[in-house]
Chains A and B, each alone.
Chain A
Amino acid sequence: MNITNSLRDPAVIRALGAQLKNLSLSRKITLMEVCGTHTMALHRGGIPSLLPDTVRLLSGPGCPVCVTPASYIDRAQEIGKNYGVTLTSFGDMLRVPGNTKSLSESRSEGINVETVYSPLAALDMARKHPAIEVVFLAVGFETTVPPIAMTVMNARDQGIDNFSILTAHKLIMPALELLVNDSDVRVDGFILPGHVSLILGSEPYRPIAEKYSRACVITGFETADIIQGIIMLAQQIEISQPSVEIQYCRAVKKDGNPQARGVIDTVFEPADSEWRGFGTIPLSGLNLREEFADFDASKKFPVEVNAETVQTGCRCGDVLRGRIEPAECALFGRNCTPEHPVGPCMVSSEGTCAAHYKYSRTR
């Protein structure tokens, strides 16, 4: 698509990069990119090297793979082992460590784990193999929830009863509110997630700007988008007028996608949820509603799982809260590398530690 080509024109990126580098600010500011897809995109675009000394960039908690607790991986493995189901998952989840091993490693014990790119592919598998129980590992923020909710509705409408999901969905607003109330980390502005906002629109973020006085810009994922987003945030902070602006206006509407939100509300209800590194955050996750209990793998295939997390020395939790940079963790680049990850932030290609390892070390 030619808008993407235009946005990727090297001459444009160079000129925008120079604007960013020359940004003149009256004080040092700290910005946070909330979304893991932004973390990866901005490192790939070389943005950290273009930042003026006055702008510090932190990564936030918006990498679903990173915040999924080890006990969730353990539960999936126990279901696979005890009930002989076929586990289906997005590829990025496979190497995430549980308390003893990852899903990928558990294949060697005979647990059946298949990678799918869409929940519909998992539903298709169930349709074609009625004798097999297919369990889809439902992780992700508001971007990914509507596709999964729609898939569950399709399963019900089509009478496919050998399909179920194990939910670990997360909602972005409760985590943002926790961050703005964290006295250890002062974030002046948020690069808000472009694709979560396709669904949510801009209204839910208003309290972050109006009540907590933080700058907010919903930003796209091209390097040019992110540079513009950072400049818009810096301008809001400089004139002390925090608001919610939409840089990614070619895709994000103020009201988001109400139809998709309706699908979420039909299938799921808010519930307390455990985040790796944060602990349990009230009403920060989603559970299937009672009407859809037949599709709830945790009810269909009950297992006992130890809620305790094994201590490894991994500081992903502090990284996800913006309290430390990856290099401040004693394991980073030594015991913990993308080849041998200890913590989830090193596993996911969108994890902060993986992005720092891949890109920062070469500078």
Chain B
Amino acid sequence: MCLAVPMKVIEIKDGGQAIVETGDISMEISIQLLSDVSVGDYVIVHTGFALEKMDPKAAEETLSVLRELAAMDATDMGMDTIED
């Protein structure tokens, strides 16, 4: 039940709502539980609400730690940036 999905904010609307998307799916969610949400942020969405913003820098760090752990180099890891 604690399933939550990272989605990208593409539009901020009135009334604490925002449009988010992932892949081909877009939906309207509530951003009332977060302050300072901007277009382009990735948010973690659960039951129609954004619960937290993703930290792109920390994401890169996790990938880099995993890469080290797996003893692989960056090309094997298919490293992409979080922004695109």
Residues of A within 8 A of B (CB): 1-7, 9, 11-12, 15-16, 19, 35-37, 62-65, 90, 92, 117-121, 139-141, 143-144, 146-148, 150, 154, 193-196, 198-199, 220-221, 224-225, 228, 231, 247, 249-253, 257, 259-260, 263, 348, 350
Contacts and interface: CB of A to CB of B under 8 A. Distances in A.
A12 B8 contact: no
Nearest to B67: A12
Nearest to A2: B80
A19 B66 CA distance: 11
Contact of B63 (A3, A121, A143, A194): A3
Contacts of B11: none
B77 interface: yes
Contacts of B82: 1-3
A321 to B, nearest CB: 19
A95 B77 CA distance: 41
Interface of B: 1-4, 6-8, 22, 30, 32-35, 42, 44, 46-49, 51-52, 54-56, 58-59, 61-63, 65-67, 69-72, 76-82, 84
The binding surface of chain A is classed by DSSP as: helix
A64 B79 contact: no
Contacts of A249: 55, 58, 61-62
B66 A12 contact: yes
Nearest to A153: B32
B78 A9 contact: yes
Given A4-B6, A250-B58, A259-B34, A119 B47 contact: yes
Give the interface centre of A3, A231, A247, A250 by most chain B CB atoms within 10 Å.
A250
Top 7 A-B pairs, shortest CB-CB distance: A118-B48, A15-B70, A2-B80, A250-B59, A147-B49, A195-B2, A249-B58
A11 B51 CA distance: 31
Contacts of A11: 72, 76-77
22 contacts: A3-B6, A5-B80, A9-B77, A11-B76, A15-B71, A19-B70, A35-B2, A36-B2, A117-B48, A120-B48, A140-B2, A144-B2, A146-B49, A147-B30, A147-B33, A147-B51, A148-B47, A150-B33, A150-B49, A198-B51, A221-B3, A250-B56
A356 to B, nearest CB: 18
A195 to B, nearest CB: 4
B54 A251 contact: yes
Contacts of A141: 1-2
Given A15-B70, A259-B33, A6 B63 contact: yes
A350 B61 CA distance: 29
Contacts of B71: 15, 19
Contacts of A231: 69
